[in-house]
A and B are shown apart, each in its own frame.
Chain A
């Protein structure tokens, strides 16, 4: 008997942003992301409340993938940030905070959404064209012939994730490893089109971070017993490799539904095993040295291959298949039929290695761009965070290779950009408005909201009750203890700006970031010698920040533009 139930009517809410519930949930979300921001950001413990795995993190990717939000507006917000993070890895929190700030600031103004959106777009394009222009005062060229800037970039990412629990020495060590791993993925003789290789992160939890290392080639984890049973290969030439993506375990292939009837005395298992041994004979006659299988190899086949001095390794797992194909130049073999000769590939050499308590089989490539980053950290939580951070850093280096510029970090780019926009909107509003219908007052209002949104992003770098200043020459960020005694003492109290490029001994004027100040032209065009001498800069990825800026403004625009939420209640 079926039961019919009357459909519930859809629920339609107008002006969703104005409701109290949305405001509170948005502010909760904002509080979560702002408190995570920066090197002294606070961590979050994510768990399911039943004693499951506890994730301690301050990274947007880990945070947002665990957050389960209910309201559509929050869903839009988290989805677009996750989208940004999945393609750029970095600047997720920046995007989230900026977006929340923009929504909050603009709402207070009471302007019509259309005006707000149009002006926001203008300001966004102003920012982007400035950051991309030659005159931009907050970006520096990345010199790939020296490691200095690249190391700064990696170090800035590592230090901005306190849950990795790295000491200074460990930070230096891991930064160097990440850079090495990245460099190993660049092909040596590249002409025209460069295809980057891959760095595989191999987990080694429980060991000291300082024991982490980078090796060219691929590491396959094995048990000690398996490893001991491997025969030593003595061959001077490259080794011939066959890579199977099908199972060689000898089970009969899936027969689908229904029953297969076999008469007594016939063994399907033996039939399959015979087929496997035939395959083995072909491998022997083709002079293969190394058989790798994603899944399981039947023990009898293994024994047969070993007898003929072929190394057989099974249970490699799906994640290693692609890098293995790339590195050895094999075509993964997917059937038990005869093997096409050009499916075989080669490796230069193989050896065994032991790290911590784990044993590995190490495939050394001829010249391929695959490397393994053996990553250690003391416990699971910190390891997971470190792994994510390393992936981010590797990704950022790749992005930087495409666009060899880096932005000054530590909040200096944001304050500098805000100063630039203030100056532009004050002194040259016509060029922004062009033939728009918006008035100059509206532009001033929105620009102020936009700039203060940017500035409160950097305000959230401070978690211990300090104050943030900006100088009136470069528009960089400076931090000072709260209730500091006297303005005159500032050059002594301050040491250097957020990115580490300038120090306080210059004749500078400072003012509180919160206070209003007259617009000034932040100095553009960085002096080259200044960049060259600073060895410890805090830097951000240009590509990721540009995208973050764009995503934040566009998402804010989208959310501000919402006038109805229609929910299907069925």
Chain B
């Protein structure tokens, strides 16, 4: 066993170069307009269509040490927040080149580390001024407001990402609004809110006509509870003036925005549109899912004594490739696909409450709970007198069936696999067994139907059996939704179940994964916004503030001969502390360059600029204005209020009362920055790579020169 050691940090820093080249691959995923990529495996000629950074990194070869660290950072962000990954990857690239340039200028590594790290801290504190509180969003829930009123603008309305838009069109829309509210009122009285998209489809940009309302209406389960709550929370029955708002301004905001309009967001639809970042169809589903969950919570708790929390673990997706995009919708309850052979069973069970049993593990003869070790050396011998008539599996299946019959159970949800023979037997006796059910679905049924999950069928007793489950086809004409594998979508539901299924459909199977990823991205964005009760003003505003703050800070430290910043270094006694002031402006400028690159790429990606250079000039222009104004945050807020959102373009101002803003999540975003910088600084401080074990035999002889052996 030998160990090889390589110095990675002579003259050029290999690690940083690797990081920037990895990051380069994800550049086009930044921003709301993502271009998909085909990843082709040269060896087996397989290809996948991807349009997110996570999927991209899954397909890249990241076996090098730096690649591993990058992957680790991305996975950590993804597992914790599910959002901010493209930002992370881009900033890793931008900052590694920034750091490299610092190295070229001879800035000591320790100073780069301290200044960059504290610089980012400074930014994270500064951006607090762009917080938008999200309070009482469910107190003044306006269930009549629809996405389409807002969605046509939002891509074009981020402060830095505007598309010159047609003024007339907006006016026309404005006019239509009144007509729409009438329609909505009527439909409200008739039951579910009918979201008449037809009225609102002026721009081709509206991606798809998500005709959920019809689906829901057709659904047998349009229950009364929803109707009630809608009436209660409808603007038309419980009219409070929305513009006045109810939330109190936060203290920290007051000093910044004293002269400006205080921004706050207390409308779910507005929040959702703001967070959709161009993906309205997914966000609309998420928003509807939240509404359903909220309505359910209200009914369950009577008067909503506990504040409602959006529980993302009770959102579930069911992908149905092959169906048109318009079939996507959200429904209360559990939607899943089962084999067509269950058709007669479902027809039989359709009009009656069904009793249910939940099985935690597999439902097979040989299944034993986890941790059970089956002894291999036990042999069962038959007495000579008795003859075994049936196979043991047959006996077992009969036994299971007997238990089901005894407790009058017609529906079994199983977390693991189910024995084929048992399924067959159950179909014959008009019982439905569904395998591979998600754990939180099981939990939802346990709560709503009063069932207790068990590991073995022998454990079932009267207390474990749930009641009142409704089984039906997802759509009234079942043949609509038979997919290629001869499976059919069914809906399981029970009174008050806290479970919402989002049915995602797409005619192109290859896009199914993308669609699902996007749904979850939107869901998590909204989840964090609601959880943290605050969002950022989005569309690049936060990054722009960071950029300008760092520039101002750099200017200040150039002018002042201050030793005040020596506290920025951990090790205050080192000479580095005293020479920090010399290098600080340079390093801060390079850190700011990362933001500059981020913003210009964002602008360029939204296709409004022919080159990144042009975009960069545009940013530069505003940066100048912002730094000249002295207070960048006021500048940004001011520009925001000039046209409610359309910042730097004032030709159609004051026409609209309510233009949706773009929002960003707070902690996931800041954490993505931090992670990106941490990774870069970690790699920067690394001077050698030590390969242990036999790994060094893989190093080919040309590279061998750089290695030292122990």
Contacts and interface: CB of A to CB of B under 8 A. Distances in A.
Interface of A: 24-25, 28-29, 32, 35, 38-40, 42-54, 56, 63, 66-71, 74, 159, 162-163, 165, 167-169, 171, 205-208, 223-225, 228-229, 247, 249-252, 254-255, 257-266, 268, 295-296, 298-300, 303, 307, 314-315, 356-357, 378-382, 410, 462-467, 478-481, 493-500, 536, 538
Contact of A68 (B3, B383, B688): B3
A205 B693 contact: no
Nearest to A39: B571
B371 A295 contact: yes
B698 A50 contact: yes
Given A167-B117, A295-B371, A47 B574 contact: no
B351 interface: no
Interface in B198-214: none
Contacts of A315: 371
A320 to B, nearest CB: 16
A162 B76 CA distance: 20
13 contacts: A38-B571, A40-B110, A45-B8, A45-B15, A45-B69, A49-B695, A53-B68, A259-B379, A261-B380, A378-B671, A467-B575, A478-B573, A495-B566
Contacts of B386: 264
Interface string B586-604: 0000000000000000000
A76 to B, nearest CB: 14
Contact of B573 (A463, A465, A495): A495
A132 B375 CA distance: 62
Closest 6 CB pairs of A and B: A49-B695, A296-B371, A51-B63, A299-B455, A464-B108, A42-B687
B372 A40 contact: no
B118 interface: yes
A510 to B, nearest CB: 13
Contact of A56 (B113, B578, B686): B686
B526 interface: no
A481 B583 CA distance: 13
Contacts, number: 279
B696 interface: yes
A49 B699 contact: yes
A381 B69 contact: yes
Nearest to B689: A45
A493 B575 contact: yes
Interface in B556-591: 563, 566-568, 570-579
A50 B110 CA distance: 31
B678 to A, nearest CB: 5
B456 interface: yes
Contacts of B455: 299-300
A164 B410 CA distance: 56
Contacts of B405: none
B370 A228 contact: no
B440 A225 contact: yes
Given A224-B440, A262-B379, A299-B454, 5 more contacts: A47-B691, A49-B698, A68-B692, A171-B570, A263-B383
Interface in B681-710: 681-682, 685-696, 698-699, 708-710
Nearest to A481: B575
A299 B709 CA distance: 54
A268 B563 CA distance: 79
B76 A378 contact: yes
B669 to A, nearest CB: 13
B360 A299 contact: yes
Interface residues of B, number: 98
Interface string B107-119: 0111101000110
Interface of B: 1-3, 5, 8-9, 15, 62-69, 72-73, 76-77, 79-80, 108-111, 113, 117-118, 121, 313, 360, 369-375, 377-383, 386, 388, 439-440, 442-443, 452-456, 458-459, 463, 563, 566-568, 570-579, 667, 671, 674-675, 678-679, 681-682, 685-696, 698-699, 708-710
Contacts of A467: 575
B69 A538 contact: no
Nearest to B685: A43
A300 B456 contact: yes
Nearest to A468: B575
Contact of B380 (A35, A52, A169, A263): A263
A70 B687 contact: no
A208 B682 contact: no
User: Which of A295, A466, A494 counts the most chain B CB atoms within 10 A?
Assistant: A466
B454 A35 contact: no
A118 to B, nearest CB: 31
Contacts of A410: 571, 573
A262 B570 contact: no
A167 B121 contact: yes
Contact of B372 (A28, A250, A254): A250
A32 B691 CA distance: 13
A47 B695 contact: yes
Nearest to B8: A45
Contacts of B685: 42-43, 162-163
A479 B686 contact: no
Contacts of B9: 42
A499 B573 contact: yes
B682 A382 contact: yes
Given A47-B68, A47-B689, A70-B1, A498 B573 contact: yes
